[in-house]
Structure 1
Amino acid sequence: MKRVRLFGPVHWTKFWICGGAALALLLGTWWTLVALQLVNPFFLPAPASVWSGGIEMWRSGQLTTDTLASVQRITVGFLISTAIALPIGLFMGTIAWVEASLEPIIDFIRYMPAVAFVPLTIVWFGVGEGQKYSIIFIGTFFQQVLMVMDNVKRTPREYLQVGETLGLSSTKLLQRIVLPASAPAIWDTIRITLGWAWTWLVVAELVAAPDGLGQRIMVSQRYFDTDRIFFLIMLIGVIGLVLDQFLKFIGKRLFPWASAEGV
């Protein structure tokens, strides 16, 4: 019996073959359940019906408008969160008194459900774009900053000792050792938290939005249009998959020292 190598690299062709096979199995199972009438089509519509519903929205222009609106909100809101979380997490991971001062507050807030802030953000910012950005921020920032802090704190102590032996200042240690050592992990944190940002965006759009994929899901729910609901949910998943793989590809190019052969 061939031994499975733990933590071993996977060539990109095998990666996509395995992923494609798993997706085909999932779609085949879905189609079989519907074709054999094992599930009520109202609860699990046929793949063909879901596809037809999506094509109909695309032809009407709704799908393009809603997708662009959601992507724009994600881009702005997530960039705001990341731009603030990165420096704060960096300082929390390297300066003890900054960590001691901020971590209890951030821990306190991060356990508060972001969805509970939706009514308050409507009061604070109205139903405009600022409200959507604030939900993305609340749902993403507090988790993100702590993850960045942990990424920075995992810098091997041996690296720092070598730098100190060479007489590097704190600023030089940060620039030449801490940042290069923690950058790959921070990039993975960005990938992970981008998925969370999409979750909170859809929550914000479900409550108050003139357009967006979340708003379109809510409209479809009112009319019990499960075909469109399934399509929109799957579309969000496809967008997330594409973004995640794109960031993964960029990360391998930015941080080649952290990448093994294969995927």
Structure 2
Amino acid sequence: MLKNLNFRIIFWFLFLISIIFIIMVKFSPLKDIHTSQISFISWFPFGFELGETVFDLCIGYIVSCIFYYIVVYLPEQKKRKQTMTIIEKRIDSILGSMGITIYYYFHKYGISENNKRFQEQVEDLETIDCNNKMNFSYQYIEKPTGRTVRMNTGEFTEIMSLLDHSKRIQGTINNIFKIPVIVNIDEDLIVILEEINNCQLFRTVSALKMFPLGITPGFGKDLFLYYLLYKKLSKYIEPTKYNFDQRVTPSD
């Protein structure tokens, strides 16, 4: 993402500089209308030739920018939008599974994203309940209708829920990577999906499947990194909103 940002900055900086140089060389108020030379640099050897060269280079760069925008950028943007339409529901499914896990633990331990000690509170978590059933009700906002839909975590223990969500997410991401047009989406999105697919939380959960423990040092740090990945992915598609507040009732 940083690389693309730097490229855009350089691209537009050179575009702006080209326009400035064109104005200086051809439309400067300091230019002598009889000689077509800028008087204050007339002492410089080959100053006129240098000005003409700079002018031609700037014109060439601006023409190249226009050509790139029409021939390359616009078609690529169209392909990206079409590809995002194809994978949008899959991305939403990934965000949904991630959101249930994240906001379940936030609700369970009373953690608020607006708290100044938010990161510290999340990273302090060390317990995954491998025995007791979760039995939590939660709600999500249905995107097409805005309706609040009530659901339940069911007969799952926390370790069962984490295993189920990790399996679903990894399966969805692997299916996305098999779609031929995936090459058209932003490279940064592919990187984020790959980071989620191989995140430390999934590796920790996979290890707990074989050796279930109550105290899991490092779980909170894994969960916080998982939360950051969730936020990164949320920049591409607005995630479904989940709420574990037991007082909320579903709307009709």
Give the alignment's TM-score, normalised by structure 2: 0.25
Give the alignment's TM-score, normalised by structure 1: 0.24
Greater C-alpha radius of gyration: 2
Higher relative strand content: 2
Higher relative helix content: 1
